[in-house]
């Protein structure tokens, strides 16, 4: 029998090798078709007396990325359509669909024949759950083999037996940590936890898997045998009494109750370990069905899986422009940002010339890369030979002539228009025809910088965030004259360095900084109102932000906030800056020399390690303090999310961002906007435009014009529209979206 997605070959020893290799796919994923075929194979192996057992592996470099989440979206679409006609039938269909994979894996492990999973590469989600259902598991001893159950990161949880098999194979503490964090495991770590049985050389992986069957591997899982005992002891034990109250408290501390899937994991594990395995799977299926219906799951799957993948594949790339294969990149400015850009470029295997005013400064920039890669080697994230290769790709120089032959030059000099003007002229003098020049600026409009260029069509903004090596988002800014080729080259470059591009039309502060500044500004207002600083920081984190606004100001520098305010006042007039906020920042910088983390004191004090930072006690003396009980904590949390979302809506109204996917993904990757919401626009859509406008107007009455809804939102509220309806990204793929 032949299959579309699998091959099955039985050797002389009676062992079937089942190789998964989906045609026209770079990575295997579970679809309905794949599961149908695989169920047929399970039945065939079980029924054929000549087959002693089966080895399951992949025909690709990776093992599998798990389930196709598009399949879940389709299942939910059917559920919502059916729910309007027959709610009970809709729920039954969803429940059945939610358990399909879990019960298929259960069929495999109770089939009466031993199965071994031979893991040859990345093994994620449902694929790892399949492996855990196999009676034996062996992984190749190579770096590319990574195993994880990362579903919680997209708002769901391992619902194909993962919450039941992991805590039956390893102790409950390690199981909970892995399941609630989506932790990635190396073969060695997985073996130490008891999740796989062996690690083998890649060339001997299949032989090792077959040897397990020939060695008498039992076709029965430990939990199906009489007398099975949980690793680390049962729930109701001294160990359980120590673990579970702490686990619940830690989850609450880390998630603030914002992630239903993470809470469901604890419930699944706790309840499931008290009952027989089949009942435990039914409990998991029940919770999985419940979580699939949450708005958090829908929003996170869309933004953090579907949209993120689409943007990473170049959804906004102009059609008809040949892809650029980079042979040389130039970076002008070897300071912190430029050095970071050089590092990520070389890390991607692209040769880079790093230019500065003299060789000493250029060499210092290269030394930054040496420090980063040395640290990666020390932590086991890179090999010594990778360090040598990376450093060999970075050429420090003080001569602009060395930019000759570069496909792309990125200017990362001091944030000063005149300095950037001089740099542009020197670089363009040696650039080959068709090469693209990009400015890494966070504040100066690209259109104004492009006036210094002799070829504005090839001039574009590529805005990195700090630190470059860790931040995954890059804003690509279009000037008024930027051409399609420059946009395509910029997107190709961002994809080449494995970051996510979002395309932004030109404006002051672009997209991300406009939203971030609103976040910080709201915190300054709260301080001035007398809200205790600790409530501000804790409220922001409880709302879902990863870093409090005062801590974020310290990270970016308090004196930078001062410079931005002063520049804004110069450019737009004194009324453009709140004088009370300006006075607060001036007091910190000019009176107390509190400039942020860089000088060890800002809104926080930064003592020598290992002591942790703590809020500066002097903050409470700057303004009369409110009592904590006089602050509406829920309203405080809401203010942070609403003020950011309103600015994002204004950005959409102005045509600065035109694709809701970019607004949502950008907000999460750049400044961590409450990921459980799916991003800024999904946050509004989840509430509903009319309800959101009502909330905003209520806040506007109390706290002023920052909360005034733009006309776009008022119109959407009147029409009952969502952003994904109003700005449907799927009708415009491949087209340039003008402001």
Going 176 to 182 to 187 to 188, the CA torsion angle's sign is negative
Please state whether the peptide bond connecting residue 10 to the residue before it is cis, i.e. omega within 30 degrees of 0.
no
CA distance 285 to 48: 31
Is-catalytic flag, 80?
no
Residue 249, both tokens: 């408290």
Task: Write the CB contacts of 574 (distance below 8 Å, at least 6 apart in sequence).
Answer: none
DSSP string across 381-422: SS-HHHHHHHHHTEEEES-GGGGTT-SEEEE---S-HHHHHH
Tokens for 104, please give them: 């298929």
**In the block, residue with structure tokens 């102790």:** 171
- C-alpha 681/C-alpha 726 separation (Å) is 11
Q: Which residues of 7-23 are buried (b: 16+ CB within 10 A; e: fewer)?
A: ebebeeeebbbbbbebe
Other Cβ atoms closer than 10 A to 93: 16
What is the number of alpha carbons within 13 Å of residue 196 lying toward its C-beta? 31
Sheet holding 115-119, edge to edge: 6-10, 15-20, 53-58, 115-119, 136-140, 198-200
The residues pairing with 138 across neighbouring beta strands, listed in sequence order, are 118, 198
Q: With contact defined as beta carbons under 8 Å apart, do 208 and 138 qualify?
A: yes
Distance between CA atoms of residues 536 and 152, nearest Å: 27
- Rounded to whole angstroms, what are the CA distances from 682 to 70, 71, 395, 645, 678? 18, 21, 44, 9, 5
Of 341, 474, 493, nearest to 412 (Cα)? 341
Q: Residue 270: CA atoms inside 13 Å, Cβ hemisphere, count?
A: 15
Which residue stretches of 182-327 are H helix? 187-193, 205-214, 238-255, 260-272, 277-292, 295-301, 308-312
Active site residues: 463
């Amino acid at each position: 029998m032949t299959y579309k997605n699998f091959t099955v070959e039985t050797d002389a020893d009676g062992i079937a090798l089942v190789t998964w290799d989906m045609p026209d796919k770079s990575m295997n994923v579970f679809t309905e078709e794949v599961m149908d075929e695989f169920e047929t194979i399970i039945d065939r192996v079980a029924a054929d007396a000549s087959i002693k057992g089966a080895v399951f592996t992949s025909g690709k470099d990776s093992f599998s990325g798990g389930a196709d989440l598009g399949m879940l979206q389709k299942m939910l679409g059917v559920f919502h359509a059916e729910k309007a006609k027959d709610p009970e039938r809709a729920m039954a269909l969803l429940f059945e669909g939610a358990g399909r994979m879990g019960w298929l894996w259960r069929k495999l492990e109770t089939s009466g024949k031993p199965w071994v999973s031979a893991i040859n590469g990345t093994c994620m989600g449902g694929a790892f759950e399949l492996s855990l259902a196999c009676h034996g598991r062996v992984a190749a001893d190579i770096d590319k083999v990574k195993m994880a159950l990362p579903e919680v990161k997209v708002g769901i949880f391992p619902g194909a037996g993962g919450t039941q098999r992991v805590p039956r194979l390893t102790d409950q503490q390690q199981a909970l940590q892995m399941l609630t964090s989506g932790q990635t495991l190396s073969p060695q770590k997985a073996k130490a936890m008891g999740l796989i049985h062996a690690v083998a050389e890649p060339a001997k992986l299949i032989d090792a898997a077959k040897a397990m069957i020939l060695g008498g591997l039992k076709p029965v899982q430990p939990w199906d045998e009489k007398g099975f005992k949980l690793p680390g002891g049962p729930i109701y034990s001294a160990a359980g009494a120590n673990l579970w109250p702490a686990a619940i408290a830690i989850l609450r501390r880390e998630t603030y109750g914002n992630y239903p899937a993470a809470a469901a994991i604890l419930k699944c594990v706790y309840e499931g370990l008290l009952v027989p395995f089949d009942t435990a799977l039914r409990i998991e299926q029940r919770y999985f069905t419940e979580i699939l219906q949450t708005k958090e799951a829908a929003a996170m799957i869309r933004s953090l899986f579907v949209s993120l993948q689409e943007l990473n594949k170049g959804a906004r790339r102009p059609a008809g422009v040949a892809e650029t294969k980079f042979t040389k990149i130039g970076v002008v400015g070897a300071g912190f940002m430029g050095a970071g850009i050089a590092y990520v470029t070389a890390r991607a295997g692209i040769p880079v010339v790093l230019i500065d005013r003299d060789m000493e400064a250029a060499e210092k920039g290269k030394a930054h890369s040496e420090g980063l890669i040395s640290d990666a080697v020390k932590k086991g994230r890179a090999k010594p030979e990778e360090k040598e290769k990376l450093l060999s790709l970075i050429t420090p120089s003080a001569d602009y002539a060395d930019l000759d032959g570069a496909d792309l030059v990125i200017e990362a000099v001091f944030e000063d228009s005149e300095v950037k003007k001089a740099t542009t002229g020197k670089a363009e003098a040696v650039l080959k025809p068709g090469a693209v020049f990009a400015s890494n600026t966070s504040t100066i409009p690209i259109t104004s910088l492009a006036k210094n260029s002799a070829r504005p069509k090839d001039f574009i903004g590529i805005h990195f965030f700090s630190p470059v090596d860790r931040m995954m988002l890059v804003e690509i800014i279009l000037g008024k004259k930027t051409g399609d080729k420059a946009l395509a080259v910029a997107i190709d470059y961002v994809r080449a360095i494995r970051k996510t591009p979002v395309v932004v039309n030109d404006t002051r502060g672009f997209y991300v900084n406009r939203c971030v500044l609103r976040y910080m500004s709201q915190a300054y207002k709260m301080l001035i109102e007398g809200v205790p600083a600790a409530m501000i920081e804790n409220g922001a984190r409880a709302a879902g932000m990863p870093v409090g606004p005062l801590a974020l100001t310290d990270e970016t520098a308090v004196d930078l906030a001062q410079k931005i305010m002063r520049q804004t006042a110069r450019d737009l007039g004194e009324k453009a800056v709140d004088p009370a906020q300006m006075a607060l920042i001036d007091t910190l910088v000019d009176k107390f020399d509190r400039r942020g983390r860089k000088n060890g004191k800002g809104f926080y004090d930064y003592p020598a390690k290992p002591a942790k930072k703590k809020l500066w006690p002097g903050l409470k003396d700057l303004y009369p303090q409110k009592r904590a009980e006089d602050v509406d904590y829920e309203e405080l949390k809401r203010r942070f999310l609403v003020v950011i979302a309103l600015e994002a809506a204004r950005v959409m109204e102005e045509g600065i961002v035109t694709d809701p996917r970019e607004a949502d993904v950008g907000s999460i990757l750049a400044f961590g906007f409450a990921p459980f919401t799916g991003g800024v626009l999904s946050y509004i859509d989840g509430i509903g435009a009319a309800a959101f406008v009502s909330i905003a107007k209520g806040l506007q009455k109390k706290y002023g014009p920052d909360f005034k809804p733009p006309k776009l939102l008022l119109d959407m509220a009147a029409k009952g529209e969502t952003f994904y309806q109003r700005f449907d990204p799927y009708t415009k793929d491949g087209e340039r979206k003008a402001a």
